[in-house]
Structure 1
Amino acid sequence: MSIFIFKVYGQDNIGTPYSVYGIGLQTENAGPYNAMGGVAAAMRDNGNINYLNPASYTALDTARLYFQFGVTGEYAHLSTYKENASYRVAQNTAFNIAFRLHKNMYMSLGFTEKSDIGYDLSYTNVIPGSSDSYFQQNIQGEGGLNDVYLGLGWRYKNLSIGLNTSLIFGKIEKRQTLTTMIEGSKIIKTSENNRIHDVLFTPGIQYTLNLSPKSILTLGSAFNFTQKLRSKTDYMAYSVNSSTNTTEMLNDLTLKRGYIKYPFRILSGFDFRYNRKWDIAGDYTFQKMSVYEEFGKNQELKDYHKAALGLSWTPERLGRYWWQRNSYMLGGYFIHSGIDVKNVDINTYAITFGSQIPFYTARNGILLLGVAFDLGIRGTEQNGLIQEKFAKVRINVGFNEFWFMKRKIN
């Protein structure tokens, strides 16, 4: 997909310019596993809620109530072959609750951001057929999709299955201004607002193999089928005479109903744990974005691919000192976004690192403080495009406490 070569651009502090495509930048908060490259498919433990695979809920403690909150802050430096800019943004908020519902049955519910859109771009170019006349175009967008979900997980021996039922909702706003640098010419402005709301189902599965008394291998997968999400759009176009400041309506289309086609997506991976100290995991994500449509029109994207790998080391889970109980994590990921600008693929490369520190409360509660960092590159300066060098700080706080244990009184 190709839109333009940047000649002059400016980016306000709202997000990546590459969120102009599709539903925006897909933001997944993998909780404490963010520091391991964001692996999630096979991750399961009794301290953290992994909502990206609902089968993982069955690893939680039977008598504890779990709360989890996460947020991400990002700083990015943008550059072309001759210009620079930067932005700072907070994103990817998630809040989750989980508990055992019945024997071998667990429930989780929560809220998370599914995608994020934020861009403010301008460029200047020569009017076709002219050598000394120019036009300036400014495009702006904001919004994104949110996910409120209710999930169930069920375990039978080494097999766990789960299902998240999500209400996907959000608003995507797009604005465009086209100005020719000729005295007395008209300024063309357009505005488009899309409101999306529908239900999305995410089944998940995990299977655990006890390879030896000290080693455990878990295989996992979660996916969505291709689904049409209902959408409503308002579109307006008008012109403004730069000399008289008079306005003329060109198009006013209100409340058009349709859908966006959310493509098939699958997340698969493994997690190998040894001696309750070492943990290595890997994920692969595929989404068929080449069939993504908005109101029946294919958006000419390529398929999405993501590979992630992570490592964790915990010296002594029951150690006396906090640094012994701390989990030290390292990872990385590669994303082929499916965005093609001027026949150049927009890819992302990043390394991650961080830790999760457990604190114990007076009532046998556990507070888990996770801090993760991403250092990466998105895009390229090739063909006059934008390259982003970004740094992310991800904070994840989890708390769980015995709420469902019967007390005995002598």
Structure 2
Amino acid sequence: MNKITLFTTFAGIALSVNCTLAQSEGLTSSPYSLYGLGVINQTSIGRSNGMGYTGIGLKTETEINNLNPSNYALTPKNSFFYDVGVRGQYDYISNEVSDDGKTTLNFSNLAFAFRITDGLGAGITMVPYSDVGYSLVGLQTNIEGSSETFESSVTGLGGLSDLRLNLGYSIIEKLRLGVSTSFLFGNIEENEAFIINNSAFQLTETTNYSGIRLGLGIQYDITDKFTLGGTVQFPTSLNGNLKRSVLKTLDASEITVEDEEPDTAADFKMPLELGLGVSGTIFNSFTLSADYKKNYWSNTGQQENIGEYADQDIYAFGLEYAKNTSSYKYVERIRFRAGFNYDNGYLAINDTKIDGYSITGGIGLPIGRDNNSILNLSYGYGSKGQIQNILVKENYHILTLNMSLEDLWFRKRKIN
């Protein structure tokens, strides 16, 4: 298979698989995915998952860094990187009444990167932007005009995907600029059902969202070992389209009240997002990384039924250790990672923000010595919310596996 065919095939697989993912089973079972577009995805690509999801200021020439488009300028000549990931998550939910646990498993990303010309690199990534997967059972509602009540169940499934084109260019040796264009798309399906005596009711609402978002990135090498980075994601609005289907059953006879009728839905406004990151190499074996992100949700003016959007702060720290990545000894080339991430939340319910934290660890196992291919395995433990009033506490475990591979193009083999 030649390189052009390989490129076309991989791009086709990336698009077809992820378009399917946008419509398939959710990647989360978090009750907090009930609000807005769902739970915003923090997991990334490759080494970042084990380093507290940091990477804005992380300089790398040996793999894909999708957290800052300017880093694509460092893609080596004749190298083609591609990354395929899978993620498994276990959620344990607690409130004042009961506990529950659920496991989800699905693909997490597809990505590739290549060099166009000297100092100019490009890449396409596809990752989940948000995940929806909640289930509310036993909701009690009063029957109008009487003292009787009935129980209903509500489930939600879906989420949005982020298909992003990245370009990075080296202005000078130490300064790189980047631009990204994201196509956000997907749908959220909500089902409500209840039974009263011999009658049943089922309502299905599917809201489709789509929109384009622009971003910028910059990296500057303060020294050979320290790099400063910054990113900005500009605000935008996602167009919403609603389809509704209502089905009633009276004495075992089905009656379709309204079936798949399109309707307009309120646009969802995405906030201005700013990021700042720094990374450094210490003692030639340790790589430190730290990020800070500010998302201005309050400026969108959006509100939920039981809460409101608030500005969000995210703090992340990461550490990687590799004794000698060019050593002939395999053990010395293995990379060990750890990280911490704190998110003060973007949704306030009864004036209480839903904050959370996660602790991560990971390992990078090299695949061969003649390229930069590596198997990245990471684990994260996190907690979100609290048992208070109508809130619940969510503890979760995330396991990610990424095949980060490098293919060498147009290189002549040397024969002694």
Category of TM-score, reference length = shorter chain: 0.7 to 0.9
Post-superposition offset of 1:253: 5.0
Post-superposition offset of 1:406: 4.9
Contact 1:269 1:281 in 2 (8 A): yes
Please give the secondary structure, in 2, of the residue aligned with 1:41.
Answer: coil
Post-superposition offset of 1:247: 4.1
Would you say how many aligned residue pairs link Structure 1 and Structure 2? 389
| Structure 2 residue 305 is the aligned partner of structure 1 residue 306 | no
| Structure 2 residue 277 is the aligned partner of structure 1 residue 277 | no
Post-superposition offset of 1:342: 4.0
Q: In structure 2, which of residues 26, 30, 33 is the aligned counterpart of residue 19 of structure 1?
A: 33
Post-superposition offset of 1:21: 0.9
Contact 2:166 2:180 in 1 (8 A): yes
| Structure 2 residue 119 is the aligned partner of structure 1 residue 104 | yes
**Aligned counterpart, 1:58:** 73
Please give the secondary structure, in 2, of the residue aligned with 1:315.
Answer: coil
TM-score, normalising length: structure 2: 0.84
Post-superposition offset of 1:236: 4.2
Please give the secondary structure, in 2, of the residue aligned with 1:308.
Answer: strand
**Aligned-residue RMSD, C-alpha:** 3.1
Distance in 1 between the 2:236 and 2:80 partners? 33
**Aligned counterpart, 1:199:** 212
| Structure 2 residue 332 is the aligned partner of structure 1 residue 315 | no
Post-superposition offset of 1:125: 3.9
Structure 2 letter corresponding to 1:84: D
**Aligned counterpart, 2:226:** 217
| Structure 2 residue 177 is the aligned partner of structure 1 residue 161 | yes
| Structure 2 residue 351 is the aligned partner of structure 1 residue 335 | no
The one-character-per-residue Cα deviations of 1:125-174 (angstroms, maximum 9, x if unpaired) are 47499997433232211111112222110012211111122222111112
Matched residues, percent identical?
A: 23
Post-superposition offset of 1:366: 3.1
The one-character-per-residue Cα deviations of 1:363-407 (angstroms, maximum 9, x if unpaired) are x23320111110111222222532121111111111113213356
Structure 1 letter corresponding to 2:190: K
Distance in 1 between the 2:387 and 2:229 partners? 37
Q: In structure 1, which of residues 170, 174, 179 is the aligned counterpart of residue 190 of structure 2?
A: 174
Please give the secondary structure, in 2, of the residue aligned with 1:18.
Answer: helix
Contact 2:307 2:347 in 1 (8 A): no
Greater displacement, 197-206 / 123-132:
123-132
Q: In structure 2, which of residues 255, 260, 268 is the aligned counterpart of residue 260 of structure 1?
A: 268
Distance in 2 between the 1:328 and 1:13 partners? 27
Contact 2:303 2:309 in 1 (8 A): no
**Aligned counterpart, 1:3:** none
Distance in 1 between the 2:234 and 2:307 partners? 19
Post-superposition offset of 1:30: 3.7
Q: In structure 2, which of residues 308, 313, 334 is the aligned counterpart of residue 326 of structure 1?
A: 334
Contact 2:36 2:304 in 1 (8 A): no
Distance in 2 between the 1:402 and 1:238 partners? 56
Greater displacement, 186-195 / 268-277:
186-195
Structure 2 letter corresponding to 1:374: G
Contact 1:75 1:89 in 2 (8 A): yes
Runs (4 or more) in structure 1 with deviation over 6 Å come to: 128-132, 293-299
Greater displacement, 17-26 / 261-270:
261-270
Distance in 2 between the 1:292 and 1:245 partners? 46
Instruction: Check 1:254–1:298 CA distance in 2 against 1; reply closer, same or farther (3 A cut).
Output: farther
* Unmatched tracts of structure 2, length 5 or more: 1-25
The one-character-per-residue Cα deviations of 1:94-146 (angstroms, maximum 9, x if unpaired) are 11111110111011113221111111112334749999743323221111111
The within-5 A match list for 1:4-403 is 15-28=29-42, 29-91=44-106, 93-125=108-140, 127=142, 133-155=148-170, 156-177=172-193, 183=197, 189-210=202-223, 216-237=225-246, 247=255, 249=257, 253-256=261-264, 259-292=267-300, 300-360=308-368, 364-403=370-409
Distance in 2 between the 1:228 and 1:296 partners? 17
Please give the secondary structure, in 2, of the residue aligned with 1:220.
Answer: strand
Instruction: Check 1:130–1:41 CA distance in 2 against 1; reply closer, same or farther (3 A cut).
Output: farther
Distance in 2 between the 1:304 and 1:24 partners? 15
